[in-house]
């Protein structure tokens, strides 16, 4: 295991990389979920509390919703492109509607865990743990501190 001292500022690179790979943005731990929708309260290795303040996970829904809106916009652009190149022929709407239903109903469910860890990463990168949060993480830490490669204090 590599050792590293705690950095003084959150390191965006590793934090985002870990968030986008469903890992703890602080230490890189996996297995943060006990079910598809159920996130553990604390990181199983570094002990960081994931929901750092009441309502913090509203951002997960915002992120998920924003990605859905972007995908629906992209789908509409596909439809517009099909219309523009159809030379007056009718465009079959069924596949567009089917894709829209999948994007609206299936995608947010599938994307939810990833949206959660990305949101936690964005939160950690923009606001490092407070001394009280660090203390709480220490109390829940299960791995010797020098075995953790922390991307924030
Ligand atoms: Zn962790």
The owner of tokens 């020098």 is: 146
Distance 124 CA to ligand 1 centre (A): 11
Asked if residue 43 is part of any domain, the answer here is yes
Asked if residue 123 is part of any domain, the answer here is yes
Distance 152 CA to ligand 1 centre (A): 10
Determine the average pLDDT of the residues in 47-74. Answer: 96
Per-residue confidence (pLDDT) for residue 1, from 0 to 100: 44
Asked if residue 1 is part of any domain, the answer here is no
pLDDT digits (tens, 9 = 90+) for 67-96: 999 999 999 999 999 999 999 899 999 999
Contact yes or no for 152/11 (Cβ under 8 A): yes
Count of domains for the chain:
1
Per-residue confidence (pLDDT) for residue 9, from 0 to 100: 84
DSSP assignment letter at 104: I
Flag whether pLDDT at 5 surpasses 60: no
3 three-class SS = coil
Per-residue confidence (pLDDT) for residue 153, from 0 to 100: 86
Distance 107 CA to ligand 1 centre (A): 27
Asked if residue 150 is part of any domain, the answer here is no
Asked if residue 5 is part of any domain, the answer here is no
Distance 126 CA to ligand 1 centre (A): 17
Distance 2 CA to ligand 1 centre (A): 15
Per-residue confidence (pLDDT) for residue 7, from 0 to 100: 57
Distance 4 CA to ligand 1 centre (A): 14
Report the alpha-carbon distance of residue 145 to residue 138 in Å, rounded: 9
Asked if residue 151 is part of any domain, the answer here is no
Range of the domain at 32: 12-19+26-144
Distance 100 CA to ligand 1 centre (A): 36
Contact yes or no for 44/29 (Cβ under 8 A): yes
pLDDT digits (tens, 9 = 90+) for 90-134: 999 999 999 999 999 999 999 999 999 999 999 999 999 999 999
Per-residue confidence (pLDDT) for residue 8, from 0 to 100: 67
* Global pTM exceeds 0.75: yes
Report the alpha-carbon distance of residue 130 to residue 36 in Å, rounded: 29
Asked if residue 2 is part of any domain, the answer here is no
- What's phi and psi for 110, nearest 5 deg? -70, -40
Distance 80 CA to ligand 1 centre (A): 45
Distance 20 CA to ligand 1 centre (A): 14
Distance 50 CA to ligand 1 centre (A): 9
Pull the structure tokens for residue 35.
């079910």
The pLDDT confidence band at residue 2, using thresholds 50, 70 and 90, is very low
């Amino acid at each position: 295991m590599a050792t590293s001292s705690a950095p003084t500022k959150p390191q965006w690179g590793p934090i985002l990389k870990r968030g986008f790979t469903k890992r703890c943005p602080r230490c890189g731990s996996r297995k943060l979920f006990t079910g598809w929708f159920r996130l553990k309260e604390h990181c199983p290795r570094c002990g960081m509390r994931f929901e750092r303040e009441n309502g913090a996970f509203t951002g997960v829904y915002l992120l998920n919703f924003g990605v859905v809106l972007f995908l629906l916009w992209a789908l509409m652009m596909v439809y517009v492109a099909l219309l523009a190149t159809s030379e007056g022929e009718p465009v079959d709407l069924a596949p567009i509607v089917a894709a829209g239903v999948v994007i609206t109903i299936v995608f947010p469910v599938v994307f939810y865990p990833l949206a959660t860890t990305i949101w936690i990463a964005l939160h950690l990168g923009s606001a490092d743990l407070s001394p009280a949060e660090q203390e709480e993480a220490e109390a829940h830490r299960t791995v010797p501190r020098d075995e953790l490669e922390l991307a924030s204090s």
